[in-house]
Structure 1
């Protein structure tokens, strides 16, 4: 009996709440909004509207030349000592730049890098011609221009050329 009374009271309260009508506090349908927009400089007489220009929209796709120059401020060409790592599953990749040390390293190691399927990050390169030359030296290797400042910070490295694998970092 008591349960029926509680259930009945709850259903009465719920029906009252769910059937409540919305009350319109203020209807500004016939009021001009110009005064509100004027404070935001959105009115038709605002000089900002007449002088505002939209940025141009690029219609053609971006190319690699648009990504250049690439500068990694935390990395410079230099000697790298071997350091063991334990990162199972890490695909091998290498860091090079547009400098004589990187070009010599790439000439000497390109067949080894191809065999292991390493991908290259060209971390310092100014011109597309230099990137094309590096790709010619490392024929068959995938190389992309990319800044590596954050990577240098995470891996605590300062120099390249450098090969990074699941088991170590070496020059």
Structure 2
């Protein structure tokens, strides 16, 4: 399965990109780095610059139809940049409209809030997003990983980098089920 990893040109929490990427690749999937601009994206270790990564495809030049699932890594700045980009928000919304599985960790649900896809769903995130999720009609829970089956697709969410092992296990299981 081709899996889109959507990140902004700057601000992604590196470990929340690299660990799920490795897990997807090790499971036989094809991870694809999608961003709002061509070139490279700048990873971060919390607030410190880390490595850069080559963009494979650009939002607006690709579509959800090209992928079996979507992973949204966190970082404080990453989803904040993405939710201000109309094409990125539309790209995320398309996965929900097409019933494709989505996985989001840490601050990434901010992009889901902007795409107006959390209403009626139960999810987790970094604790500071609790009010945003509730205000958008979702139910926030403090759990290591949450799989929500509301609607035509499944949504996998986790709180933070410490939850990465459970997050990767859960989204790989959900994506495998979706692939049939």
Do the structures match in fold with TM over 0.5? no
Per residue, is there more strand in 1 or in 2? 2
Q: Which protein has greater RCO, CA pairs closer than 8 Å, 6+ apart?
A: 1
> Larger C-alpha radius of gyration, 1 or 2?
1
Question: Structure 2 length as normaliser, TM-score?
Answer: 0.28
TM, length-normalised to structure 1: 0.29
